[in-house]
Amino acid sequence: MPQKDDWDADATRDVARASAGGRGPGTYGAVPEEGRTSHRSSGGDDRKDDAEEAEEELEEVEVVPVRRQLSLVIAVFAGLLGMGLILGAGTAAPGNRLPFAIVLFGVQLLFLLAWTMALRPPAAGATAGVCVAVGLVADYLAAERDSTGLLTLLLVALGGFVVALIGQLFRAEDRARVSDSWRTTLVIVLGVVAYAIPVILTRVPVGTQTVEVCAAAAGLALLIARATDAVFPKPRIAPQVPRGATGVVLGAMLGTLLAALLGSVLVLPFTPGKGAVIGLIAAVVAGLVDLAVNFGEAGRTLAGDAPTFWVARHMQGPLGAFALVAPVAYALTYWYMS
Q: Which residues of the chain have pLDDT under 70?
A: 1-61, 306-310
Is residue 15 a part of any domain in this protein? Answer: no
Q: How far apart, in whole angstroms, are the C-alpha atoms of residue 276 and residue 255?
A: 9
97 and 127 in a common domain: yes
The angle at the Cα of 19, spanning 13 to 25, to the nearest 5 degrees, equals: 50
Which of the listed residues 201, 220, 237 is the one where a domain comes to its end?
Answer: 201
What's residue 15's pLDDT?
Answer: 43
Is residue 54 a part of any domain in this protein? Answer: no
Burial class (CB in 10 A: 0-12, 13-18, 19+), 298: middle
What's residue 259's pLDDT?
Answer: 96
What's residue 195's pLDDT?
Answer: 96
210 and 168 in a common domain: no
314 and 220 in a common domain: yes
The angle at the Cα of 198, spanning 197 to 200, to the nearest 5 degrees, equals: 65
218 and 105 in a common domain: no
100 and 181 in a common domain: yes
DSSP code for 196: T
Q: Phi and psi of 236, rounded to 5°?
A: -65, 135
222 and 187 in a common domain: no
294 and 227 in a common domain: yes
Given phi > 0 = left and psi -120 to 50 = alpha, else beta, which region is 336? Answer: alpha
238 and 187 in a common domain: no
- What is the domain count for the chain? 2
Is residue 68 a part of any domain in this protein? Answer: no
Is residue 280 a part of any domain in this protein? Answer: yes
Is residue 277 a part of any domain in this protein? Answer: yes
Which of the listed residues 201, 220, 254 is the one where a domain comes to its end?
Answer: 201
What's residue 172's pLDDT?
Answer: 80
Is residue 18 a part of any domain in this protein? Answer: no
Which of the listed residues 149, 180, 201 is the one where a domain comes to its end?
Answer: 201
* 136 sits in which H/E element: helix 124-144
Give the structural domain span for 338.
Answer: 203-338
Q: Under DSSP, is residue 275 helix (H, G, I), strand (E, B) or coil?
A: helix
156 and 261 in a common domain: no
Number of helical (H) and strand (E) elements in the chain, helices listed first: 13, 2
Q: How far apart, in whole angstroms, are the C-alpha atoms of residue 323 and residue 86?
A: 14
What's residue 288's pLDDT?
Answer: 96
234 and 154 in a common domain: no
326 and 210 in a common domain: yes
213 and 188 in a common domain: no
Is residue 88 a part of any domain in this protein? Answer: no
Is residue 66 a part of any domain in this protein? Answer: no
